[in-house]
A = this chain, B = another copy of it.
Amino acid sequence: MFRIGMLTSGGDCQALNAAMRGVVKGICSKIQNVEIYGFQEGYKGLIYSNFKMLTSKDFSGILTLGGTILGTSRQPFKMMRVPDEDGLDKVEAMKHTYHKLNLNCLVVLGGNGTHKTANMLREEGLNVITLPKTIDNDLWGTDMTFGFQSAVDIATDTIDRIHTTATSHSRVFIIEVMGHKVGWVTLHAGIAGGADIILLPEIPYDIDVVVDAINKRKDAGKRFTIIAVAEGAISKEDASLSKKELKAKQAKNSYPSVAYEISEKIQKKTDQEVRITVPGHTQRGGSPCAYDRVLATRLGAAAAEAIMDGDFGNMVAVRNNETVRVPLAEVAGKLKYVTPTSDIIKEAKLTGISFGDA
């Protein structure tokens, strides 16, 4: 009997089910007696030994299904070593569940925080395999994470719709795009949606440069300006502050999100009306796009191979279109940022997009 534990952790995204289907189909095509323990709502299920016994049938027909059939929750890494309200040591609890169920391995699908915890479990001696799940595409060690392209599609669709309104009304439109601390989704959706200005965390913006770009468009007879703003975008001044100073400053203002802050700045410095659109959680929802289904299926199958090879302690990743195994120790705690001097940024600038930086 081969026993696999599986969990999805962190914010949900598209193709989680597709990836789990890949893992299970891969293993069950080669191994006869497999028991699958589906832990409910992320690490919580592992901590409190809350799971469902699943069979390969439960993973049939879920390739196109959004969300995760296991449920998920956020369990901050920094809280893992802090006993919970009942005094329970969460790490020991997870190890206990793993050993009690006599698991051969634990398959974890998640993003950055999830990988830190997964790496800790590896250090504690568990057989762990992870899959890179996040719309943010900020996981170090893989060219691409599943969920990303679907989120880009949705954010692009939002910009497309705003575009038709923009051509009808004379205004500045800000679309705030998800991505946590990195700008990948905003960069791609911004280019794909034909945004005039793209503001990313990796390229702190100068509001005067932004205003300049808006005014130049107006002077050239363009009726509108579209700005794609990453939720983590930051101004030059704020980027020069210490973490503590920044927190203090943010505590004083009361912008619901960064788009509102930038909107106010623009309205102070121009005579233009500004409209804000925040697609928010829709960027994580719905059926995965074809790209993500292929990627997730491939990574799932590659994880199955690694499991059958007995090669644990890795994240299954994609590099140059090939699936590879990257040691968790290398992945955990590192973010993959957009490089301000990369090809794609240079190309975007060449087509006239302003990043608010010069």
CB neighbours (8 Å) of A65 from chain B are 164
Report which of B8, B14, B157, B285 forms a contact with A163, defined as CB distance below 8 A. B285
Query: With A63-B194, A168-B68, A169-B73 known to touch, is A22 a contact of B351 (CB < 8 Å)?
Result: yes
Interface range on chain A: under 10, 10 to 19, 20 to 34, or 35 or more? 35 or more
Is B282 within 8 A of A158, CB to CB?
Answer: yes
In the complex, whether A298 has a CB less than 8 A from a CB of chain B is yes
With A and B bound together, what is the CA distance between A268 and B188 in angstroms? 39
A344 within 8 Å of B (CB atoms): yes
CB-CB < 8 A to A156: which residues of B?
290, 293
Residue A25 at the chain B interface, CB threshold 8 Å: yes
A75-108 residues with Cβ-Cβ distance < 8 A to B are none
Chain B minimum-CB-distance residue to A286: B161
Instruction: Verify B294–A192 contact, CB threshold 8 A.
Output: yes
Q: Which B residues touch A279, using CB under 8 A?
A: 277, 279, 282
Is A153 part of the contact surface with B, judged by Cβ < 8 Å? yes
Q: Is B164's CB under 8 angstroms from A66's CB? A: yes
Taking the full assembly, how many copies of this chain does it contain? 4
Supposing A152-B290, A350-B304 touch, asked if A161 and B320 sit within 8 A by C-beta, the answer is no
A305 engages B350 (CB within 8 Å) = yes
Answer whether residue A278 sits at the interface, using C-beta atoms and an 8 A cutoff.
Answer: yes
Q: Is A234 an interface residue (CB 8 A)?
A: no
A-B contact pairs, 26 of them (CB 8 A): A22-B351, A25-B350, A26-B347, A29-B350, A29-B352, A63-B192, A63-B194, A64-B163, A64-B194, A66-B161, A67-B168, A71-B167, A71-B168, A72-B168, A152-B291, A156-B293, A157-B282, A160-B286, A163-B285, A165-B284, A188-B290, A191-B297, A275-B280, A278-B280, A291-B291, A294-B344
> Which residues in A have some Cβ–Cβ distance to B below 8 Å?
8, 12, 14, 16, 21-22, 25-26, 29-30, 41, 63-68, 71-73, 143, 149, 152-154, 156-158, 160-170, 173, 188-189, 191-194, 223, 256, 275-282, 284-287, 289-291, 293-294, 297-298, 300-302, 304-305, 320-323, 343-344, 346-348, 350-352
